[in-house]
A and B are shown apart, each in its own frame.
Chain A
Amino acid sequence: MKDFRYLEDVATLVLDEEKCIGCGLCTEVCPHAVFEMNQNRAKIVDFNACMECGACVSNCPADAISVSPGVG
């Protein structure tokens, strides 16, 4: 979402590109277009748009993504 941005550098999103199997599901479920596919691997393209909803985490079949709001 371009008109609504929240604080920068606070999200706890972590993507382990090594584990990614390239299914593309994270790009489908993320409501803020945080991921894009790049040569059959997911890539974080808009880190600061992440609202830590966890949709990508619960759907990634390779457990390659994590968010941990409330920690740290």
Chain B
Amino acid sequence: MEMKQTRGKQENPNRSGVSTANVQIMPAMDMSGSAYGTEENRPLAAYEKPGYELCGYVDRFLETEAGPVPSVRRVLDKADRLSTIAVRCGIRRHNYLVSPGLYGIGKPDTGSEVLVTANYKLTFDHLRSALGNVSAWILVLDTRGVNVWCAAGKKTFSTRELVNRIRAVSLETVVTHRRVIVPQLGATGVSARQVREQSGFRVVYGPVRACDIPAFLNNGRKADKQMRQVTFPLFDRFVLTPVEIHSALKPMGITVLVLLILSGIGPSFFSFQEAWDRGGTALLALAAGFLSGAVLTPVLLPFLPSRKFAFKGVVTGSLCAAALLPVLVPAVGSFTGAAALYIFSVMVSSHLAMNFTGATPFTSPSGVEKEMKQYIPLQMAGVLVSAGLWIYSAF
């Protein structure tokens, strides 16, 4: 250590050459000495363990009765932001997680609040950057890298996990009060009464949105009505669309194949040329339905008529397909063929729009079931009619 330090500070007269005196192999090896670990650039060296890498969002460690607790930064760095974008786009969807356990933010002490959250890194990042200047403990549950609401629905954000995690981190030695703040959207998986019975900690339900936490705490841990209600703003609807696109890709791939095969059927029984030509036009119709159902409908959701998502999809699908007609009609060369593609677009859009019910925070499963019972037969019939017309139009 000492040798490295003196070396780092040493002025090197042979910066650009090879010197036998300093045993310098490459000039770059001695550049300002920053490649060497010093007290200044590796202040957390004492906490390093072989085989572990320190997370970028940890800035120091807090000594507590229960041992050292990592303290996290409030400000997201470039790496956090870049990976957020990647996750949103579906490039890195899995294993984007934070180790479950106890963290600190700011200067928490034995009287500070304990904020419970999920170990999905996006959720964790969102929380730590939304706290203003609040000092608190953050208890991260193991939700297998899934956000609070979805995890509560799947019961991984649960009474049991919370109770076990409270025990595992010896929370009772870190804080003197007996209270944890659980995000309201986690309530589906948690029973406040059971948590108290099993751990001695009282569950206080915090606001729906992390950005309301400072106000909630200032308000004596009381949330007003607006903090308790879920909203579904444009941005939220928009960031969900890559997920929709992602989950629709596989069935879309199969559909592409079927379309190409159907398009090849004609007077000469099967023609690859036709499969290519007519198939290309059919794919255009598919793409229109896809964009309309998986992107346009979610984004325009509140402005579209009807409460039924499947019908909203019919509306956007009709508009998109209509916009495409000037291209479709000359490409297909027949009214029947264009009609087939039009119907097809609308049905694809309707189906994908209906799928989006699974991603919204206000659709009841009973309602979705009702809608599906009504619209799936319709959509299937529509697709069959369209396929019939499409084949017919080839003759």
Residues of A within 8 A of B (CB): 1, 3-8, 10-12, 25, 28-33, 49-55, 58-59, 61, 69-70, 72
Does B364 touch A at the CB level, under 8 Å? Answer: yes
Contact stretch, chosen from B138-146, B180-188, B265-273, B334-342: B180-188
Contact stretch, chosen from B121-129, B169-177, B229-237, B278-286: B229-237
- Residue pair B205, A28 in contact (C-beta under 8 Å): yes
- Residue pair B365, A4 in contact (C-beta under 8 Å): no
* Given known contacts A51-B362, A59-B193, A7 and B188 CB-to-CB distance under 8 angstroms: no
Q: A11-B367, A25-B205, A28-B228 are in contact. List 5 more A-B contacts (CB 8 A).
A: A3-B232, A10-B364, A31-B361, A51-B362, A61-B192
Q: Which of these, B153, B187, B307, B366, contacts A5 with CB under 8 Å?
A: B307
* Given known contacts A28-B228, A31-B208, A53 and B188 CB-to-CB distance under 8 angstroms: yes
Cβ-Cβ contact count across A and B, 8 Å cutoff: 93
- Residue pair A52, B366 in contact (C-beta under 8 Å): yes
Does B64 touch A at the CB level, under 8 Å? Answer: no
Q: In the complex, A70 Cα to B302 Cα: how many Å?
A: 26
What A residues does B364 contact at CB under 8 A? 6-7, 10-11, 50-52, 69
- Residue pair A33, B228 in contact (C-beta under 8 Å): yes
Residues of B within 8 A of A (CB): 152-153, 184-185, 187-193, 205, 208, 223, 225, 228-232, 301-302, 307-308, 360-367, 369-371
Q: Which of these, B185, B232, B371, contacts A4 with CB under 8 Å?
A: B232
What A residues does B190 contact at CB under 8 A? 58-59
- Residue pair B208, A6 in contact (C-beta under 8 Å): no
Minimum-distance CB pairs A-B, first 6:
A69-B365, A55-B187, A29-B187, A7-B367, A31-B230, A52-B364
Among B188, B189, B307, the one with the most A-chain Cβ atoms within 10 Å of its Cβ is: B188
Q: Which of these, A12, A31, A72, contacts B184 with CB under 8 Å?
A: A31
What A residues does B369 contact at CB under 8 A? 69-70
Q: Which residue of A lies closest to B158 (CB)?
A: A58
Among A6, A49, A50, A70, the one with the most B-chain Cβ atoms within 10 Å of its Cβ is: A6
| 23 A-B pairs in the complex with CB atoms less than 8 angstroms apart | A1-B230, A1-B231, A1-B362, A4-B301, A4-B360, A5-B307, A6-B362, A6-B364, A10-B370, A28-B184, A28-B228, A29-B187, A30-B228, A31-B185, A32-B229, A33-B225, A51-B362, A53-B188, A55-B187, A55-B188, A58-B188, A59-B190, A69-B369
- Shortest distance from the beta carbon of B311 to any chain A beta carbon, whole Å: 11
* B interface: dominant SS: helix
Q: In the complex, A3 Cα to B45 Cα: how many Å?
A: 53
Q: In the complex, A52 Cα to B366 Cα: how many Å?
A: 8
- Shortest distance from the beta carbon of A32 to any chain B beta carbon, whole Å: 7
Q: In the complex, A30 Cα to B152 Cα: how many Å?
A: 14
What A residues does B230 contact at CB under 8 A? 1, 31-32
Q: Which residue of B lies closest to A58 (CB)?
A: B191
- Residue pair A6, B191 in contact (C-beta under 8 Å): no
- Residue pair B366, A3 in contact (C-beta under 8 Å): no
Q: In the complex, A46 Cα to B319 Cα: how many Å?
A: 34
- Residue pair A6, B188 in contact (C-beta under 8 Å): no
Q: In the complex, A64 Cα to B366 Cα: how many Å?
A: 20
- Residue pair A59, B187 in contact (C-beta under 8 Å): yes
Q: Which residue of A lies closest to B302 (CB)?
A: A3
Q: In the complex, A44 Cα to B198 Cα: how many Å?
A: 30
- Shortest distance from the beta carbon of B321 to any chain A beta carbon, whole Å: 26
What A residues does B362 contact at CB under 8 A? 1, 4-6, 32, 49, 51
- Shortest distance from the beta carbon of B368 to any chain A beta carbon, whole Å: 8
Q: In the complex, A59 Cα to B208 Cα: how many Å?
A: 16
What A residues does B223 contact at CB under 8 A? 28
Q: In the complex, A61 Cα to B202 Cα: how many Å?
A: 13
What B residues does A50 contact at CB under 8 A? 364
Among B185, B229, B371, the one with the most A-chain Cβ atoms within 10 Å of its Cβ is: B229
Q: Which residue of A lies closest to B371 (CB)?
A: A7
- Shortest distance from the beta carbon of A38 to any chain B beta carbon, whole Å: 15
- Residue pair A1, B187 in contact (C-beta under 8 Å): no
